[in-house]
Amino acid sequence: MSRNGRLSLRKPSVFVSGFGFQAVVLSAFVLSCLTVFGWACWKGLWFLSFCDEGEHLLGGRMLNEGGRLYVSYVDSHGPVIFMLSQFYGALFGWHFPQGARLLLPVLALMAAACLSVTSALSDVRHRVLASTVFIGGIASYWLMDAFYMVSFYPVAGFLAVCLLALFVVPAWFGKTPSVLPSALAGICLILILGCAYAYGPGMLLIVIPALWLLARKQGDRAIRAFASGAVLAVLMLGLWFWRYSDFGSFVVFHILFNQIAYAPFIHFGPKTFLLSLVPSFRGEEFYPTLAHLILAASLPMLLYRRPGRNRVAILIGFAGILLLNARAAAGFKDGQTLIMAFALAGLALGGCLERQAGSSRILSRAALTGSIGMVLALWGSSHLATNTPFSWSYHDSTHKPPYTIYQPIDDAISLKVRSLVPPGQPILMLPYMPEFYWMADRRPPYGYYEYLPWDAVYARHPVPGYPHDLCQNLLTDPPPLIGYTPETDPTSLTVRPFFNCIKERLATLYMPVEGFPSLHVLRPRENQSRVSPP
């Protein structure tokens, strides 16, 4: 009512109308990213697999059936990925092994939830936008960089996002995380180290400066909670090792084996790492380059108006993030860095805007616009990449028909294997085809499921007390059937020189199966030639 008594229809305030429109746009943005993410996860559930995933699922099944990791199932990867696949098998069985891929969306949403509650950002809208940018980024590359795969790269990446959101980035921003997030971050740290020991140096550079910042702010409760979470995770892993593994074998076959036998084959060293930082958009090299560009764009926003010591901690932390890919792997094997880059991009934008002086309406509009622009840029860039590890375009990857992995298959060779080897008896597939054990519905022999050049190198110079020599083992405990197809292996040119002893064992202990030249069955004992070890 106006002063003269007339009814006055006032326009709603600019802030209210603006906020209402922004709320609609924000809701649409969040819903769109979640929808694309759900679609990508569904496509990934039925997508083609890579050999690494086969060994992780096979290891989980062997553990469910009474095996012991690094003892009866010897592998060079860290225990956490096998724990996850074992957990899936214990809950749901192995009638649908690719269902274990559903663990990855769960971990991704867990990481997004950590971003949405991080104490690094004060405004709830900025936290929602940071988590939405993250979801939009990983949705764009879910198929292209194999985030759907049951492998330790995406698992470590999602756990690292939780660590950053709950503990590290709040410390970078001068805030003290509360007790529960700090404890959860400590658990995440140990699980990341359990994915691969190679993450250790990078994690130290990420975590130690954050602890230093909190110590200067009298954040003793947060530090104690973080340490308590780490100790709890160590105890949990210790109990698991006591039941399902062996600590000495873990050190030998996960750490020493990789350093002594495997490292020379990947040219591991400072020069290789430094060369990996040179930008390149060719093939799989696109992915680490994209991660480095996102991190480089995020760094100035993270450093914006921060005290000097915080800037030092952030710079050291970024060096740690780069060092997580110390082996200079490209493509999906650098997935953890790209996943962390998506999260840091959203956190950096929100953290930068919160340091600005201005109205809340202007800041929220800038944050929303910037977040939408980031996701659109990431989605657009995914069309420029080729899928890893299959080198397909975005269109090729998203239009592949559904594919079921690792079920018992009734093709000629699998049927032949099942007819020759009764259930419960092992087979051996050489040099490396872990999915064949699923296809044939037979298990590998005790301690061996592959034979590659680095296995031969280790056999010549084993750690005392931990022998691992397939050629010698075939003399004492040969499986009833061996499949040998080196020409089908992508590393065949490097495998062949190491297979002389295997060829000798096949010639003296086995005989080929008629009509299946890759299959060899064990000769009767009286027909086996006497051979001496080469």
3-state helix, strand, coil in the chain (%, to 5): 65, 5, 30
Q: Helices in 283-331 by DSSP H: which ranges?
A: 286-303, 308-323
Return the structure tokens found at 324: 């997580």
Containing 517, the helix (H) or strand (E) segment is strand 516-522
Task: Write down how long the chain is.
Answer: 534
- HSE of 245, CA atoms in CB hemisphere, 13 A: 27
Say what angle helices 79-92 and 152-163 make with each other, to 10 degrees.
100
How is the chain split into domains, by residue range?
18-50+96-257+270-398, 412-527
Phi, psi of 516 (to 5 degrees): -135, 80
Q: What was the pLDDT predicted at 11?
A: 43
3-state DSSP assignment of residue 69: strand
Per-residue model confidence (pLDDT) at position 284: 86
- Residue 490: per-residue pLDDT: 54
Which residues, in sequence order, are CB contacts of 298 under 8 Å at separation 6+? 341, 344, 345, 347, 348
Could you list the beta-strand ranges (E) of 58-195. none
Per DSSP, the residues of 421-479 read S-TT---EEESS-THHHHHHT-PPPTT-S---HHHHHHHHSPPTT----HHHHHHHS--
Alpha-carbon gap, residue 458 to 254, rounded angstroms: 12
Per-block average pLDDT, block size 10, for the chain (534 residues)? 43 46 90 97 92 93 96 96 97 93 98 97 93 97 95 97 98 96 98 96 97 93 98 97 96 95 87 88 90 96 95 97 91 93 96 77 82 95 90 90 85 94 94 91 95 92 95 95 78 71 92 94 73 41
Residue 115 has which token pair?
A: 């971003």
The answer to whether 153 and 333 are in contact (CB under 8 A) is yes
- The pLDDT tens digits of the residues spanning 248-279 come to 999 999 999 999 999 988 888 888 888 889 99
Task: State both tokens at 158.
Answer: 């999602």
Q: Which of 206, 191, 453 is nearest to 314 (CA)?
A: 206
Residues 385, 389, 395, 396, CA torsion sign: positive
What is the separation, in whole angstroms, between the first and last Cα of the chain? 103
What long-range pairs does 33-37 form, CB within 8 A, spacing at least 24? Answer: 33/132, 33/135, 33/136, 33/139, 33/375, 34/135, 36/136, 36/139, 36/140, 36/379, 37/105, 37/108, 37/135, 37/136, 37/138, 37/139, 37/142
Residue 404 falls in which region: left (phi positive, over 0), alpha (psi -120 to 50) or beta: beta
Contact 426, 446 (CB under 8 A): yes
Return d(Cα 354, Cα 503) in angstroms, integer.
67
* Nearest residue to 518 via CA among 453, 429, 423, 406: 429
Are 326 and 276 spatial neighbours (Cβ–Cβ below 8 Å)?
A: no
Output DSSP code: residue 282: S
Our measurement of the distance from residue 5's CA atom to the centroid of its chain's CA atoms, rounded to an integer in Å, reads 70
Say how far apart CA 252 and CA 102 lie, in whole Å: 31
Region of residue 433 (phi > 0: left; psi between -120 and 50: alpha; otherwise: beta): beta
Q: According to DSSP H, which parts of 66-123 are helical?
A: 79-92, 103-116
- Residues whose CB is less than 8 angstroms from the CB of residue 452 and which lie 6 or more positions away in sequence, other chains included: 431, 432, 491, 495, 498
